[in-house]
Amino acid sequence: MTDQPQPLFTAVDALLATVDDGGVLPALDERVRLREAAGLTQAAVAQALGVRVASIQAWETGRAEPKAERLEAYRRLLDGLSRRFPASAAPLSGSSEAGRPRPDPAAAPLSAPATPAAVSAAPSCPGAYGGRQPARRADGKQSTASLRTAPAGGTDSRFENGPLAVVDVDTGGQVLAYCTGGLVLDVPAKSLAALVDWTLAEAKLGQAKLSGPGKDADPLLVLTQAAVERYGLPATLTDEERLAGRIPENHKVIKQLARAQWKLTRRGFGPWARIYRPASGSERACVQLCIPSWHALDTRHWGQAGQLPPAELARVLGVYASRVMTPRGSTAVTGLELMTALHPPTRASQPDADGKRHSEHNPGSLGQDPVDCAPCEAPDGHPLLADLPRFHVRGPGEKLFEEAYDWARPMTDDECMLRHLVGIDVNMAFAAGANGLTVGLGAPTHVKAPVFDAKVPGSWLVDLSHVDLSRVKTGKEWADLNSDLLPSPFTPKGERPQGPAWYATPTVAYAVELGYGVRPLEAYVRYGSGRYLDGWYQRLRDAYLATMADLGVHADMTPADFLTAMDGYQDRDPQLAIVASAIKATVKGGLGKLRERPRGEGWKPGRPWRALSRPTWRPDIRAAVISRTRTNLHRKIVKHAAFTGQYPVAILSDCVVYAADGPSPLDFLPYRDGKPLPGGFKLGVNPGLVKHEGTQSVLWGEEVRERFNAPELNLARYIKDGTVTDTDTGE
């Protein structure tokens, strides 16, 4: 050849270079095969790579390709999976129940619920109780299938069977542990002490730490009622035990644990028991128990999860654990523990002269030691208030009272002429209020006559009675409003302040934003500050969005499609709907725990209670989040009123009710060409956006108020289903 096709050779060389550099990804079908072989959902991959589920779907269908660092990370994932699951290997079982088709990976997180029949090829756990045992089949015989090599709970070999297991007893009397991903293990333990030993030595349960200086999560065992009885525990608690939150210390099982040198925490053996031995160096020996028949899973937050079959319960709790964290107790306890897991109080120092590392304060955390709150932040009965007269009632000038809205007003004549009352609810409103919020990390400093600084977290004694809602600033412009139809942003009941009162920083900052000057009389400020809750918010946000995406509600939907998708979303997968409910409860409960009140135990006013010994007992942080959430909502209400002339009829926490001509939020929200009012309400699934809470008729609202002779009855409380009882109204 005399004339070589040089341009073609150059193009081929460039293509080869792309292959060498890792710029070429496996074929689309292979990408899907590798993910499904590992039992990973699109949501799990999206969370790991920091992208939306829609991006993973686009990468697997060829509609788009990852770019820059996402390309490298995605290729790294696929390379790792290809080594674990070569093309010649048979894929892992993905069936859910006998006779049920394999679910869409994009719609089912982790693996779908499994029964013993569905996991006939799953291995039992190896170890001291007889070595690696063959997998069980539904008929109880041994399976000749080859042992599974893929970890069920992630890439950490220490926890290859997942974060938790549901322990049950089958009809043949065999104790089984149902893990996430459909894995079922034989449990040889004959006593509870032996069960704890087996869990730590053989079960390979647990969860890797969520942050560098943190600790791995302890394995969680959920004992069904059959397992509870098998191990000598009462099937249910007596009324006395339920009130005490534990079984008696002289119970035979507790004595059995003591003989085996296992200890219980100060809370004793209750619905969420922790069994441990003192740590030896960095090695922890601790197992968490959850007992649904003792009401460990509150039906307000977990629905009927406690009644689910073991495999399905393992799925529900496993999804929650993978997206939030392994439950450590109630959703409230877990919400608080998540804050600490993401911001551990200490970290390892740099090596000293001898090469040794020491424990030191972890910047950005709350530290190891509790700090006193300011007197105005202390709830009634706190030791700081021990010198007050016994029946003294503190007013706004003595007590910080930042709470969510509970406000309503009579409807105007024009509103009564409309047909519907439409409620909209802010998604994860308190999580959105925590996002980007600067909070104090240390003790308060008392300052007299300070100059207000919106960047300094604290509590401020200031008179905001001069703020006139009839004329306020909305952005750079002033707006004229009907203040009689608006709640005050400064009080939970929406009443205008009558004089100096204590407020958190976001409330005072909002008064300045509305265009009015402030002159604090005194303040308790915290100069050491940070965005402590950002990581907490982001993890819960991602967990919620991934779960809602699995339920068919995505973040990029049009308003009409979003409303359609939200209609009956809980029925598409009731188990995932439980997870979504638990995630929302984790937000509210975790924030509530920041100001946990006494819980019996012989407490008397003026004396300390157990929660005060925690560095995470921080009523000022709770107050700041609620303050910001309430002012965020008021800002949207003002924007909406200034643009449309519409005012809310009732507000309860994060639910707002408007009178409208039609039954849909789209009948009164000012969308133009699919775009919402800037700074106003926007329909969507993301935290801070709103969804449809419920619709009732205006006649219903007037009839209810007339029946109970309550012209300002808060209709937002009943807008969802319209049911109002005498108990609700105090009759």
Same domain for 58 and 125, yes or no, is no
Same domain for 176 and 228, yes or no, is yes
CA distance 702 to 710: 10
At residue 316's C-alpha, the angle toward residues 45 and 211, to 5°, is 50
CA distance 105 to 404: 39
Is position 315 within any domain?
Answer: yes
Q: What is the pLDDT of residue 727?
A: 55
CA distance 509 to 446: 19
Same domain for 285 and 383, yes or no, is no
Q: What is the pLDDT of residue 513?
A: 97
Q: Which of 329, 360, 395 is the last residue of a domain?
A: 329
Phi, psi dihedral angles at 27 (to 5 degrees): -60, 160
Is 168 or 25 the better-scoring residue by pLDDT? 168
Is position 651 within any domain?
Answer: no
183-198 pLDDT, tens digit each: 999 999 999 999 999 9
492-510 pLDDT, tens digit each: 999 999 999 999 999 999 9
Task: Give the tokens for residue 688.
Answer: 């801070």
The boundaries of the domain holding residue 46 are 21-84
Same domain for 219 and 80, yes or no, is no
Q: What is the pLDDT of residue 6?
A: 66
614-642 pLDDT, tens digit each: 999 999 999 999 999 999 999 999 999 99
Same domain for 294 and 384, yes or no, is no
Q: What is the pLDDT of residue 438?
A: 97
Q: Stretch 549-570: mean pLDDT, rounded?
A: 96
CB 334 within 8 A of CB 586: yes
Phi, psi dihedral angles at 279 (to 5 degrees): -65, 140
Is position 545 within any domain?
Answer: no
| Half-sphere exposure in the Cβ direction for 487 (13 Å, CA) | 30
Is position 234 within any domain?
Answer: yes
pLDDT band at 729, cuts 50/70/90?
low
CA 516 to chain centre: 36
CB 421 within 8 A of CB 698: yes
CB 516 within 8 A of CB 499: no
CA 638 to chain centre: 29
Instruction: Examine the pLDDT at 289 and tell me if it is beyond 80.
Output: yes
CA distance 8 to 11: 5
Is position 594 within any domain?
Answer: no
Q: Stretch 221-234: mean pLDDT, rounded?
A: 97
Largest CA distance in the chain: 107
Counted domains in the chain:
3
Is position 503 within any domain?
Answer: yes
> Which residues are bridge partners to 420 per DSSP?
660, 697
Task: Give the tokens for residue 263.
Answer: 């200890």
Helix (H) or strand (E) holding 241: helix 239-244
Q: Collect all residues with Cβ–Cβ distance below 8 Å to 277 and sequence separation of at least 6.
A: 261, 262, 263, 285, 286
Torsion of CA 578, 584, 588, 591, to 10 degrees: 110
Instruction: Examine the pLDDT at 68 and tell me if it is beyond 70.
Output: yes
Q: What is the pLDDT of residue 123?
A: 35
How many C-beta atoms surround the C-beta of residue 310 within 10 A?
Answer: 25
Q: What is the pLDDT of residue 350?
A: 85
Instruction: Examine the pLDDT at 572 and tell me if it is beyond 70.
Output: yes
Instruction: Examine the pLDDT at 169 and tell me if it is beyond 60.
Output: yes
CA distance 39 to 288: 26
Is position 280 within any domain?
Answer: yes
How many C-beta atoms surround the C-beta of residue 73 within 10 A?
Answer: 15
| Half-sphere exposure in the Cβ direction for 568 (13 Å, CA) | 3
Q: What is the pLDDT of residue 128?
A: 33
- Determine the straight-line distance between the first and last CA of the chain, rounded to whole angstroms: 101
645-673 pLDDT, tens digit each: 999 999 999 999 999 999 999 999 999 88
Is 137 or 491 the better-scoring residue by pLDDT? 491
Same domain for 51 and 188, yes or no, is no
Nearest C-alpha neighbor of 489 from the set 517, 509, 519, 459: 509
Same domain for 387 and 260, yes or no, is no
Beta strands at 458-463 and 439-440: parallel, antiparallel or unpaired: unpaired
CB 507 within 8 A of CB 448: no
Instruction: Examine the pLDDT at 731 and tell me if it is beyond 80.
Output: no
Instruction: Examine the pLDDT at 63 and tell me if it is beyond 80.
Output: no
Same domain for 230 and 146, yes or no, is yes
Query: What residue has token string 């809370």?
Result: 267
Q: Stretch 89-104: mean pLDDT, rounded?
A: 36
CB 628 within 8 A of CB 489: no
CB 461 within 8 A of CB 501: yes
Same domain for 144 and 46, yes or no, is no
CA distance 599 to 54: 45
Is position 721 within any domain?
Answer: no
8-state DSSP, 90: P
8-state DSSP, 180: G
Q: Give the CATH number of the domain where residue 70 resides.
A: 1.10.260
Q: Which of 530, 562, 593 is the last residue of a domain?
A: 530
> Helical H runs in 503-660?
505-513, 534-550, 559-566, 574-593, 619-644
pLDDT band at 96, cuts 50/70/90?
very low
Same domain for 146 and 295, yes or no, is yes
Same domain for 59 and 178, yes or no, is no
CA distance 591 to 379: 15
At residue 588's C-alpha, the angle toward residues 583 and 589, to 5°, is 90
Same domain for 130 and 51, yes or no, is no
pLDDT band at 131, cuts 50/70/90?
very low
Q: What is the pLDDT of residue 19?
A: 54
Number of H helices, E strands in the chain: 20, 22
Percent share of the chain, pLDDT over 90: 70
CA distance 182 to 311: 7
679-719 pLDDT, tens digit each: 999 999 999 999 999 999 999 999 999 988 888 899 999 99
CA distance 556 to 54: 9
Helix (H) or strand (E) holding 462: strand 458-463
The overall average pLDDT reported for the chain is 87
Q: Which of 476, 497, 530 is the last residue of a domain?
A: 530
